Amino acid sequence: MFRASHDIATTTSNSLSKEKNIYEVDVEDVSDLNSNSDSLSIKEHDGTSMKKGLKSRHIQIIALAGAIGTGLFVGSGSALATCGPAALLVGYLILSIFVWLVMNQIAEVVTFIPIPGQTTIYALCQRYTGNKSLSFACGMNLYYAQALITPAEITAAAFVIQYWTDINPGAWIAIFWVTMVGIQFCAVKYFGEIEFWIGLIKIITITGLIILGVIIFFGGAPDSHGILGFHYWKHPGSFAEHLATGNTAKFLDCWTSIIKSAFAFILAPELITACAAEAEHPRVNLPKATSRFIYRMIFFYVCGSLTIGIMVAYNDPRLMSALASGSQGAAASPFVIGIQNCGIKVLNHIVNAAILTSAYSCGNSQFFSATRTLHSMALHGEVPKIFGRTNRWGVPYFSVAVTALISLVAFLNVSNSAAVVFTWLTNISTVSGFISWIFIGIIYLRYRQVLEFHNMDDRVTFRPPFQIYGAYCTIFFFSLVSITNGYAVFFDFNGNDFVAAYITLPIIFVLYTGHMLWYRNWKWYAPLEEIDCFTGLEEVEKDQREYVAPVASNFIMKIYYWLC
């Protein structure tokens, strides 16, 4: 049992941490820019441990822009054409609120004990529910979702290049795949550095596009004839009314927008928490990144979707032609189309280059997250232990290798017939993202029960508002979205679309039921007194106590430390 006083909890934590090297930590000096801060690091390499190589600035930029890929830049065009600008805006706004709640929940749980191998959704599910079957289904669902988003973004990057050249996309897919795998085999600090600089490009690009939207709104574009304003919201209209008419059509437009726009948000919270275990001072840096997550949601996604509705009509000929031809690259990007419509030269090529880096970065980030999920499952014995092995740089190289092999499905898009199968896979990853957020809500509610039982609430250092209510809301909302994500197929039934929309649900059922029957695991939750919420806590609290915040020597450094 783990119900104990503070002293017993400390003893339990220390004794457990000596049993496995993965929990054995100490504090050593690590230099970072103008900081003389300490860093929690792994004491010795035992073949499964990881290195803490992600600095504060890496975490902050990854939190702001890491998961932004083609969903916002390109995928939003399909949502606009199907639903209209008002529905697109409503969809992004609603998703931003619920994804923010999810981020708050998982960040609090991870921040409590952020140690390597224990910050993935799988590990948290096993730790706080005690249900190995539930955690197995949770982990496998998350892994294949992350592993499938990677080839989706690789393919998107290859098709973005077709905006400039007719070279077979298979060549570009090969180039992106090789470089991405190479990055994953390097130490985590190189991954962090690459994501930092590409993240800055994303932030600058989206900020510039939003400013451009304001200029176009007031008629400042070369081909403008007076103030444009919300012209496209009136002509052809703010709602496309694609499935019905009247108010029912407007509601369905908004619901379809939520479903179609979700790919832009999928697995963003999981990415940040995957990075936490290999970050310096996670109890300081993760809350800092999480507290800014809502601003990213509002500025990038909400303002970005509003800009799209201002720049492009939902029935724009260029947009409709791109979607009809099945274009997956910049030709289908509403941002690029809007720039072309306004007669702005060269800028469309610059934006296309930014879209290319965003697609590559998003695929690279999800690749990273997938390997950490598989590594975590291996440490707990749910998958072969070989996937838990790491090299001297702390890289789980077997996990990287198998994820790289899965990413080869990107080549399916070279063939038109195989592209249908690939579309199924990407749809599966989107629904898996919804289910992952349901798991996060369940984990959070159980986590709160465990802490209350063990009287540990006073040791929680980060607790955003609305958490328990938010968890119930996210469980209900994303359950509803998962069940109805393919509702449109029933208006004009298509077997392929039906399978793509709903195949994930029976997969999760089979994973859970199969594991439960194989291991004869009949309990939904383990008793509260058996839940371990102590192991690793003392080491994390020691790191937090010894953390020394950097002191800015001038105004520029004050801004830098506020951002990073």
Residue-wise pLDDT tens digits, 79-128: 999 999 999 999 999 999 999 999 999 999 999 988 877 888 999 999 99
Q: What is the mean pLDDT of residues 256-279?
A: 85
How far is residue 537's CA from residue 540's CA, in Å, rounded to a whole number?
5
Structure tokens at 267: 């697995």
Tell the residue number behind the tokens 């994930």, with chain if given.
504
Contact at 8 Å (CB) between 267 and 150?
Answer: no
How far is residue 237's CA from residue 239's CA, in Å, rounded to a whole number?
6
Looking at the predicted structure, is the pLDDT value of residue 14 above 80?
no
User: Would you state the pLDDT for residue 500?
Assistant: 82
Contact at 8 Å (CB) between 147 and 317?
Answer: no
Looking at the predicted structure, is the pLDDT value of residue 289 above 90?
no
Higher pLDDT, 46 or 235: 235
Contact at 8 Å (CB) between 383 and 374?
Answer: yes
Going by pLDDT thresholds of 50, 70 and 90, the confidence category of residue 39 is very low
Higher pLDDT, 523 or 367: 367
Q: What is the mean pLDDT of residues 54-76?
A: 80
Cβ-based burial of 495 (10 A; exposed 0-12, middle 13-18, buried ≥19)? exposed
CA quadruple 414, 416, 417, 422: dihedral positive or negative? positive
Question: Whole-prediction pTM value?
Answer: 0.86
Distances in whole angstroms, Cα of residue 475 to Cα of each of 69, 126, 306, 478, 484: 25, 18, 28, 6, 14
Question: Bridge partners of 40?
Answer: 27
How far is residue 51's CA from residue 81's CA, in Å, rounded to a whole number?
46
Structure tokens at 307: 């800009």
Tell the residue number behind the tokens 């103008």, with chain if given.
34
Question: Bridge partners of 39?
Answer: 28
Looking at the predicted structure, is the pLDDT value of residue 9 above 50?
no
Using alpha carbons only, how large is the chain's radius of gyration in Å?
A: 23
Contact at 8 Å (CB) between 127 and 454?
Answer: no
Distances in whole angstroms, Cα of residue 181 to Cα of each of 276, 402, 444: 21, 11, 33
How far is residue 342's CA from residue 94's CA, in Å, rounded to a whole number?
30
pLDDT per position as a tens digit, 544-558 = 888 777 777 777 877
Q: What is the mean pLDDT of residues 179-201?
A: 92
User: Would you state the pLDDT for residue 386?
Assistant: 93
Higher pLDDT, 311 or 42: 311
Going by pLDDT thresholds of 50, 70 and 90, the confidence category of residue 563 is low
Share of the chain above pLDDT 90, in %: 37
Higher pLDDT, 7 or 385: 385
User: Would you state the pLDDT for residue 420?
Assistant: 65
Looking at the predicted structure, is the pLDDT value of residue 41 above 50?
no
- Count Cα atoms within 13 angstroms, Cβ side, for 326: 7
Structure tokens at 424: 């199924």
Contact at 8 Å (CB) between 363 and 269?
Answer: no
User: Would you state the pLDDT for residue 159?
Assistant: 83
Of 121, 22, 111, 101, nearest in space to 451 by CA: 111
Looking at the predicted structure, is the pLDDT value of residue 495 above 90?
no
Q: Is 104 helix (H, G, I), strand (E, B) or coil?
A: helix
Distances in whole angstroms, Cα of residue 38 to Cα of each of 93, 94, 314, 546: 39, 40, 53, 7
Task: Identify the top-confidence range among 106-110, 329-333, 409-413.
Answer: 106-110
Tell the residue number behind the tokens 């201002």, with chain if given.
310
Tell the residue number behind the tokens 């930590």, with chain if given.
25
Task: Identify the top-confidence range among 62-76, 327-341, 349-363.
Answer: 349-363
Going by pLDDT thresholds of 50, 70 and 90, the confidence category of residue 422 is low
Q: What is the mean pLDDT of residues 417-426?
A: 63
Q: Is 533 helix (H, G, I), strand (E, B) or coil?
A: coil
Of 360, 454, 336, 417, nearest in space to 80 by CA: 336
Distances in whole angstroms, Cα of residue 224 to Cα of each of 179, 234, 315, 319: 42, 17, 19, 19
Average pLDDT, the chain: 83
Contact at 8 Å (CB) between 474 and 438?
Answer: yes
Contact at 8 Å (CB) between 545 and 140?
Answer: no
User: Would you state the pLDDT for residue 564?
Assistant: 67
Residues in the chain: 564
CB within 8 Å of 154: residues ≥ 6 apart? 173, 176, 177, 180, 359, 360, 363, 407, 410
Q: Supply angle C-alpha 367, 518, 115, rounded to 5.
A: 40
Contact at 8 Å (CB) between 379 and 394?
Answer: no
CB within 8 Å of 287: residues ≥ 6 apart? 107, 111, 461, 462
Distances in whole angstroms, Cα of residue 340 to Cα of each of 318, 347, 439, 527: 9, 9, 43, 61
User: Would you state the pLDDT for residue 57?
Assistant: 84
Angle between helix axes 268-276 and 416-453 (nearest 10 degrees) is 60
How far is residue 325's CA from residue 332's CA, in Å, rounded to a whole number?
10
Structure tokens at 341: 């419509």
How far is residue 117's CA from residue 113's CA, in Å, rounded to a whole number?
11
User: Would you state the pLDDT for residue 5?
Assistant: 41
DSSP letter at 392 equals T
Share of the chain above pLDDT 70, in %: 88
User: Would you state the pLDDT for residue 46?
Assistant: 63
How far is residue 388's CA from residue 465's CA, in Å, rounded to a whole number?
36
